[in-house]
Structure 1
C-alpha cells in the first residue's frame, strides 16, 4: 500500500491556482518591451486618472485660449491645435488599445484551447468510467434503467463531428 494519501480538494485547488499564477508571471516576464508599453498605455488610458488629467488640460486650454486666464496669452484661439492634438492622441490610443486587445485575444484563445483539451480528457476518462461500471454491473448481473443508454455513453465523442454539427446548426440558423 502506498504511503501517499490522495490530495484533498483544497491542496489540489491551491496547486492549480499556484500553477496558473506562475504561468501568468512567466508570460509577463517574457513579453517584449513593446507589449509591456502597449499594456501600460492601455491600462493608464482606461483609468480615471487619465480622465481627470485630460479634463484638467482641456479646461485650462479652453480657458487660456478664451482669454479667461490673464497671465497666459492665447496660443490657440481657434482651437485648431487642440483638435489636431486630440486627433493624433486618439489615433495612438486606439492603436495601443487594439494591440492590447490582440494580445488579450491570443491569451484567451490559448485558455480556450486548454479548456478544450481538459474537457476532451475529462470526456475520455468519463467514457472509461462508464465502461468500467457497465462491466461491473454486467459481471454482478445488475440491471439498471440506463442500460439502453450505456453503449452510446461508452463511446468517445469525436470533436470533429461535434464541430461539424455545430457549424451546420449555425449555418441553418443563419439561413433561417
Structure 2
C-alpha cells in the first residue's frame, strides 16, 4: 500500500501485556497481514484460479482422488469389475495424465511467478530498511563518538569505531560481491 493510499486514520492497535510483543511489532504484524489481504483482493481472477488449482494439486486430497481414479480405471480396464473395459491398453489414461501434468505444471509456474514477485517486493523492502538502519546507526556512532571525545573517553580513538563511521555504499558492496562470485 503506498503512503498516499494508507489509512492513517485507523487507531493504533493496543497491545496486551500478555502478548509479550512490543506495540510497534504488533502494528507491523497487523500491517503486513493487511497488506497481504489487500494483495489477495487485487489478484486477478486468473491468478486466483491458478492459486486455487495449485493449492489443491499440492494437497493429500489430490493424491487420494487420483489414487482412487487410477485404481478404479485399472480395475475396470483389466476386466476385474462387472463394467465393460473402455481403455484396455491404457492409452487414454496415459494421455489424460500427460495433459493433466502439462496444465498442473503451468498452474504451478503461474503461482510461483506470483509468489516470486511478492518475495522480490519483500526483499526490496528488507533492503531498504537495512540501508536505512545502516545509515541511522552510522550517524549514531558518529554522534556517540563526538560525545565520547567531548567527555574525554579513550574509546573514541578506537580504529574500529572510525571504520564503523564510514558510510556504506551499497553499489560498492554489490560490485565486490560479484567480483568474489566471479573468482570462484
TM-score (norm 2): 0.87
Aligned equivalent of 1:90:
101
**4+ residue runs over 3 A deviation:** none
Q: Does 1:16 align with 2:28?
A: yes
Unaligned ranges ≥5, structure 1? 1-6
The 8 Å contact of residues 50 and 110 in structure 2, kept in 1 or not, is answered as: yes
Q: Match for residue 162 of structure 1?
A: 173
Asked if 1:59 corresponds to 2:53, the answer is no
**Equivalent in the alignment of 1:3:** none
In the TM superposition, what whole-angstrom CA distance separates every residue of 1:73-126 from its partner, at most 9, and x where no partner exists? 111011000000000000000000011111111111111110000000000010
Provide TM-score, normalisation by structure 1: 0.91
- How far residue 150 of structure 1 moved from its aligned partner, in angstroms, is 2.2
The 1-side partners of 2:122 and 2:62 are apart by 31
The one of the two structures with greater contact order (alpha-carbon pairs below 8 A, sep at least 6) is 1
- Are 2:158 and 1:147 equivalent residues in the alignment? yes
1:49 matches 2:61: yes
- Counterpart of 2:144 (choices 102, 113, 133) is 133
Please, which runs of 5 or more residues in structure 2 have no aligned partner?
A: 1-14
Cα RMSD of the aligned pairs, angstroms, is: 1.5
> 1:139 Cα deviation (Å)?
0.7
For residues 80-119 of structure 1, the aligned pairs below 5 Å read 80-119=91-130
Paired residues in the alignment total 166
Q: Indicate the SS of the match to 1:149.
A: helix
SS in 1 for 2:87: coil
